[in-house]
Amino acid sequence: MSEPVLPPAPPQAPRLNSRFWPWLSRSVLRLSGWRLVGRLPDLPKLIIIGAPHSSYWDGVWGLMMKIGLGVNVNIMIKREVLEGPLGIILRPIGLIPINRSAALNVVEQMVQRFGEHERMWLGITPEGTRKRVKHWKSGFLRIARDAQVPIQTVFIDYPSKTFTLGPLVHAGDDPEQDMAMIRALFQPYRGKHRNTEA
């Protein structure tokens, strides 16, 4: 029996209201050879960080996996994009608007959103860009600490065509120490164009 391309979705995960799109996404992943390795935690609230992010394809495969799981992982996007015609397509698959002109900054908006929902998973690329960077953006740590939500690490590896679920991390009181520890976890894995420096 061949290995499944996706693990089962845990009961407490926020769900997508569709059967067709998950089936289609799983079919595409099966044909492409990509798979998600590991077991997702059975938690109602979660921040998921994926790296190394070096290509638009990371988003394509990641989107296929989240839809294939039937799990509603929220992804942040500029509010203006969702106000246009694309919003009809993007809102149902979990993209959420960020108001950059609001009094609340992005971290505060996400902390508030976690407080307003019983179940919410949020996906973030901590590098913030597809280019190699020396410093990751610390917003995900601040959201995790202030909202008291754990962080699920996901390692992107193109040679093996896998997204691997790593350890669950809890933000502490020393962001620099947390960041160094988290980045080191990603070092063995290689994205489409590069790896992650510790």
Per-residue pLDDT band at 15 (split at 50, 70, 90): very high
Tokens of 104: 């609340």
| Banded pLDDT at 92 (limits 50, 70, 90) | low
Is the pLDDT reported for residue 198 higher than 60? no
pLDDT of residue 23: 93
Quote the CA–CA distance of 155 and 95 in Å, as a whole number: 21
Domains of the chain: 33-186 (3.40.50)
AA letter at 144: A
**SS3 state of residue 132:** coil
Identify the pLDDT of residue 95.
Answer: 72
Token readout for 35 is 């798979």
Given this model, what pLDDT does residue 96 score?
73
- Higher per-residue confidence, 186 vs 77: 186
Backbone φ, ψ for residue 138 (5° rounding)? -90, 5
Encode pLDDT of 54-65 as tens digits.
Answer: 888 998 899 899
Judge whether residue 120 has pLDDT over 60: yes
pLDDT tens for residues 133-160?
777 889 999 999 999 999 999 999 999 9
CB proximity list for 185: less than 8 A, separation 6 or greater: 153, 155, 166, 167
The residue among 99 and 178 whose pLDDT is bigger is 178
Selection from 10, 66, 74, 11 nearest residue 34 by Cα = 66
168-184 pLDDT, tens digit per residue, is 999 999 999 999 999 99
Output the average pLDDT for the chain: 87
Give the residue-averaged pLDDT of 125-133.
73
Considering only residues 92 and 30, tell me which one the structure prediction assigns the higher pLDDT.
Answer: 30
E-only strand ranges, the chain: 35-37, 45-51, 73-78, 95-98, 120-124, 151-157, 162-169
Instruction: Name the nearest CA neighbour of 70 among 23, 16, 127, 122.
Output: 16
Distances in Å between the alpha carbon of 97 and those of 17, 65, 79, 121, 149? 19, 21, 4, 15, 20
The residue type at 176: E
